[in-house]
Amino acid sequence: MTVTTSTMTDLRDSVATFLDFFAGPIWARNGQPGMANFAVGNPQEMPLPAYVDALRSHLEPQSPDWFAYKISEPRSQATVARGLTARTGLDWDPADVAMTNGGFAALAVAFRTILEPGDEVIFLSPPWWFYELLIRAAGGVPVRVRLAPPRFDLDSAAISAAMTPRTRAVLLNSPHNPSGRVYPPADVQRLTSALRAGAARIGHRVFLVSDEPYNRILFDGRQFHSPAEFYPDAIISYSYGKQLLAPGMRIGYLTVPPTMEDRPAFREQVLVAQLATGFSFPNALLQHAIEDLEGLSIASPRSSAAEIAWSGPCAGWATTPRCRRARSTCWRAARSTTTSRFLSCWPRNTS
């Protein structure tokens, strides 16, 4: 006899389209000759040679505890902190970096850290598939704010209007999946001003969870600025899976800026959340290799949208006019450089 709780029903409903897709006729073609699967951002080409070399060079044990249990290793934390300092201009403290097994886990840990049952998290739509699932799994209530196509501008007024005394966090994804929008500093600062005003109005701090897995895959000379540069109560989640196009090798991090207050207490809460979510730390090999991996990327500084579309996960970024053009290029590339007759692409999650 199968017992289904109301909690599991709610969680299942939040990812129903995702589950139905994998049970449907499009996914049934996966693995067939001539099928190029762009549904979940998996690679279509062989891994970066430098990535393979990095893993190989750190595979040989150098001590008895080389493959022992690892939490957030100091060398990993220091590597991430150096990169964040260089990109944001803030003096990042390595102790504030929590290494996770991917960005997925970083978000799960973030929500488990900051949410109490019934707390609300505002997220932007169209969203990544699993935001609602992760919010609900941590006891939170997802609150959707829709972005207007075709530009999907960041609507700070709508976000402010959605804030209530139960609002605990706003979830921002930039570069935005699926639209591809990279929100400029002026837009982000308008949002942070709205959050400060909202927090003052409702009488408690409001976190800005900044999901940034694409922040180093930028098209046509665009620049990315993290909300952490402008807002002390920012929480960054990051995944190396996009940068390296190796999503099955799970490593990422959760971190907060040096401007956040009470950081030592926050670090301890994050550690407890990592344990409570099933030991959400990267494996030993990936942490040993992180210094070599940090500087690698599938995107060169001169990459264009069309070039990225074929070498990276183009299917998720197919909404704006530029990205539609890139996806068309991707289709032509698939037809001309492989024997592909079909492309398996992800359905939109805009409900």
pLDDT tens-digit map of 234-271: 999 999 999 999 999 999 999 999 999 999 999 999 99
Weakest mean pLDDT among 47-51, 280-284, 325-329? 325-329
pLDDT of residue 54: 97
- Mean pLDDT for all residues in the chain: 86
Residue boundaries of the structural domains of the chain: 65-293
| Position with higher pLDDT, 85 vs 347 | 85
Nearest Cα residue to 7 out of 131, 143, 142, 139: 139
Q: Six-digit token pair at 171? A: 């979830």
Task: With residue 158 as reference, give the H or E element that holds it.
Answer: helix 156-162
pLDDT of residue 302: 46
Burial class (CB within 10 angstroms; exposed 0-12, middle 13-18, buried 19+) of 283 = middle
Residue 180: pLDDT above 50? yes
Nearest Cα residue to 148 out of 138, 140, 136, 158: 158
Question: Quick one: what percent of the chain has pLDDT higher than 90?
Answer: 72
Looking at the structure, give the CATH architecture of the domain made up of residues 65-293.
Answer: 3-Layer(aba) Sandwich (3.40)
Residue found by looking up tokens 């264009």 in the block: 304
Residue 90: pLDDT above 50? yes
Which range has highest mean pLDDT (32-41, 69-78, 301-310)?
69-78
Length reported for the chain: 351
Is the dihedral angle over the CA atoms 261, 105, 225, 127 positive or is it negative?
negative
pLDDT of residue 34: 80
Residue 321: pLDDT above 50? no
Q: Six-digit token pair at 117? A: 């049952």
Q: Six-digit token pair at 150? A: 């075709």
Nearest Cα residue to 266 out of 76, 89, 116, 110: 110
pLDDT of residue 43: 87
| Position with higher pLDDT, 328 vs 136 | 136
What is the per-residue pLDDT across 275-320, written as a single tens digit (0 to 9) for each? Answer: 999 999 999 999 999 999 999 998 755 445 444 433 333 333 333 3
First to last CA, the chain: 33
pLDDT of residue 38: 75
Q: Where are the beta strands (DSSP E) in 180-245?
A: 207-211, 234-239
Residue 151: pLDDT above 60? yes
Question: Do residues 94 and 73 make contact, with C-beta atoms less than 8 angstroms apart?
Answer: no
Which whole number is the average pLDDT over 117-133? 96
Residue 35: pLDDT above 60? yes
With residues binned 3-state (H G I as helix, E B as strand, rest as coil), the percentages for the chain, rounded to 5, are 40, 15, 45
Entry pTM: 0.87
Question: Do residues 164 and 122 make contact, with C-beta atoms less than 8 angstroms apart?
Answer: no
What is the per-residue pLDDT across 194-208, written as a single tens digit (0 to 9) for each? Answer: 999 999 999 999 999
